[in-house]
Amino acid sequence: SQKIEQNSEALNIQEGKTATLTCNYTNYSPAYLQWYRQDPGRGPVFLLLIRENEKEKRKERLKVTFDTTLKQSLFHITASQPADSATYLCALPPSGNTGKLIFGQGTTLQVKP
Amino acid sequence: NAGVMQNPRHLVRRRGQEARLRCSPMKGHSHVYWYRQLPEEGLKFMVYLQKENIIDESGMPKERFSAEFPKEGPSILRIQQVVRGDSAAYFCASSPGDLLFFGSGTQLSVL
């Protein structure tokens, strides 16, 4: 069955460092992958979309890579700030895409000043 | 441009009552998705609707749960005869295409 895995352990880093979060998936080949940010008590907010023919995408301090051979995406936040503390979710369209997205469990990032 | 609007923000029901959750998509979006999130768990897909049509309800329990998106008005997620296990955050999202815009959710608490 199709599966998305994100590190369930919280990631704690010091302000100014680069945070790297991992998303692994199995048993399918999605046309694209998305990353969302979720703050406590709020709905997820879209951050970046990367397509299968793109190796890397950047937006300000964010960088996403997509390795379709390894079936993995890495999400980087450079020069991290306490305001970056949140839960980050990766999401993929399932096989036989009907328009919905399947979400990973999310990784909580805590940036300490 | 208003975002996705969900109401109520918090809903308390006693076991056996009905819960109605409302979602107004962003202007111009005709696709609505409902997700459920339990504490310490990820978002679980429930149902995908377009105006007057259910496209995919594979994630919705067969009993007690129903969803609609009428031609006029908001999308409604209805839970009949609620049980304690229905307590969760319910998020609605609308979409113009590939990506989703989420509302702030409805926190349902069943006493």
Residue A30: is the preceding peptide bond cis (ω within 30°)?
A: no
Q: Which of A90-99, B10-19, B32-41, B46-55 has the lowest mean pLDDT?
A: A90-99
Model pLDDT, residue B41: 79
pLDDT exceeds 90 at position B50? yes
Which residues in chain A have their CB less than 8 angstroms from residue B25's CB? none
Q: Which residue has the tokens 């909580």?
A: A108
Model pLDDT, residue A8: 79
**Tokens standing for residue A101:** 């997205």
Four-CA torsion A111, A7, A105, A107, nearest 10 degrees: 10
pLDDT exceeds 70 at position B11? yes
Cβ of A43 within 8 Å of Cβ of B98? The answer is no
Question: How far apart (Å, rounded) are the C-alpha atoms in residues A97 and A106?
Answer: 22
At position A39, the amino acid (one-letter code) is: D
In sequence order, what are the beta bridge partners of B35? Answer: B45, B91
Model pLDDT, residue B98: 78
Mean pLDDT over each residue of chain B, to the nearest integer = 94
- Over residues B62-69, the mean pLDDT reads 96
- Over residues B59-75, the mean pLDDT reads 94
Distance (Å) from the alpha carbon of B11 to chain A's nearest alpha carbon = 14
Distance (Å) from the alpha carbon of A62 to chain B's nearest alpha carbon = 18
How big is chain B, counted in residues? 111
Q: What Rg, from alpha-carbon coordinates, does chain A have?
A: 14
Model pLDDT, residue A97: 62
Question: How far apart (Å, rounded) are the C-alpha atoms in residues A17 and B106?
Answer: 35
**Tokens standing for residue A64:** 């996403």
In sequence order, what are the beta bridge partners of B37? Answer: B43, B89
Question: Closest partner residue to B104 among A42, A100, A103, by Cβ?
Answer: A42
Q: Which residue has the tokens 């969803």?
A: B67
Q: Closest Cα partner for A20 from A103, A84, A70?
A: A84
Query: Cβ of A103 under 8 Å from any chain B Cβ?
Result: yes
User: Which stretches of chain A drop beneath a pLDDT of 70?
Assistant: 96-98
Cβ of A101 within 8 Å of Cβ of B103? The answer is no
**Tokens standing for residue A97:** 């895409």
Question: Closest partner residue to A43 among B48, B99, B102, by Cβ?
Answer: B102
Model pLDDT, residue A13: 96
Model pLDDT, residue A98: 67
pLDDT exceeds 90 at position B44? yes
Question: How far apart (Å, rounded) are the C-alpha atoms in residues B51 and A98?
Answer: 15
DSSP assignment letter at A84: G
Which residues in chain A have their CB less than 8 angstroms from residue B30's CB? none
